[in-house]
């Protein structure tokens, strides 16, 4: 059984971000690695109507990310993404320099399941700022067209040589392997209620 953050649709996430007085808030949104750019882009366009927002993408290391966030002073919300290449030492460095992330606005980290694990393990001080403000984005409800959803499901079926029925049965039994792809599979099948069983 794997314990993961709860699932949240993008509009619900936007609602929560805009509802909170933003000073110093840090959020984490978990997305499949290959959809991070799209999730971040959608997030920016949805937030732009509400507040000032800046996307900080593709920083090559922790130092570059921190200075990019610091340069965005005055922007209410910073979306940090494209940091999938960050290793343990980058997260440790972010943790050491956490005070420099303190700002009047909010920060949203859009990261993959692997990166969120690294964040909690190697940046415990930053994670304590996040607290429970961490969700998995529900890609099936908003982000993907029906065709894209079907295409991703097909890729999973072929990649793992398993059917949807088998996945649902294993999840219900609580014996689905813990790889993030299986979680995505359940999300795409619109059965996030079974995620807690994986």
Question: Least distance from C-beta 40 to another protein, angstroms?
Answer: 20
Closer by beta carbon to another protein, 19 or else 161: 19
- Phi then psi for residue 25, to 5 deg, are -75, 140
Question: Least distance from C-beta 72 to another protein, angstroms?
Answer: 16
Mapped onto helix, strand or coil, the DSSP state of residue 161 is coil
The residues of the shown chain that bind another protein, judged by CB under 8 A, are 1, 3-6, 12, 15-16, 19-21, 23-26, 92-93, 95-100, 102, 116-121, 124-125, 127-135, 174-175, 196-197
**Buried residues in 129-165 as b, exposed as e (16+ CB within 10 A):** bbeebbbbbbbbbebbeeeebeebbeebeeeeeeeee
Mapped onto helix, strand or coil, the DSSP state of residue 22 is coil
CB 136 within 8 A of CB 187: yes
Question: Least distance from C-beta 93 to another protein, angstroms?
Answer: 5
Closer by beta carbon to another protein, 7 or else 56: 7
Closer by beta carbon to another protein, 86 or else 135: 135
């Amino acid at each position: 059984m794997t314990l993961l953050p709860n699932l949240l649709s993008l509009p619900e996430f936007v609602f929560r971000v805009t509802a909170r007085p933003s000073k110093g808030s840090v959020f984490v949104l978990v997305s499949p690695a290959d959809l991070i750019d799209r999730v971040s882009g959608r997030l920016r366009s949805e937030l732009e109507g509400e507040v000032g927002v800046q996307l900080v993408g593709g920083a090559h290391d922790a130092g570059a990310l921190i200075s990019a966030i610091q340069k965005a002073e005055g922007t209410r919300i910073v979306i940090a993404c494209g940091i999938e290449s960050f290793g343990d030492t980058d997260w440790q460095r972010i943790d050491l320099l956490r005070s420099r992330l303190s700002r009047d606005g909010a920060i949203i980290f859009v990261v993959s399941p692997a990166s969120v694990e690294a964040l909690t393990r190697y940046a415990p001080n930053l994670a304590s700022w996040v607290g429970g403000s961490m969700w998995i984005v529900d890609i099936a409800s908003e982000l993907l067209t029906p065709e894209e959803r079907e295409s991703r499901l097909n890729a999973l079926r072929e990649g793992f040589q398993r059917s949807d029925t088998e996945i649902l049965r294993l999840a219900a039994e609580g014996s689905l392997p813990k790889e993030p792809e299986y979680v995505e599979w359940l999300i795409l099948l619109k059965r996030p209620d079974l995620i807690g069983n994986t």
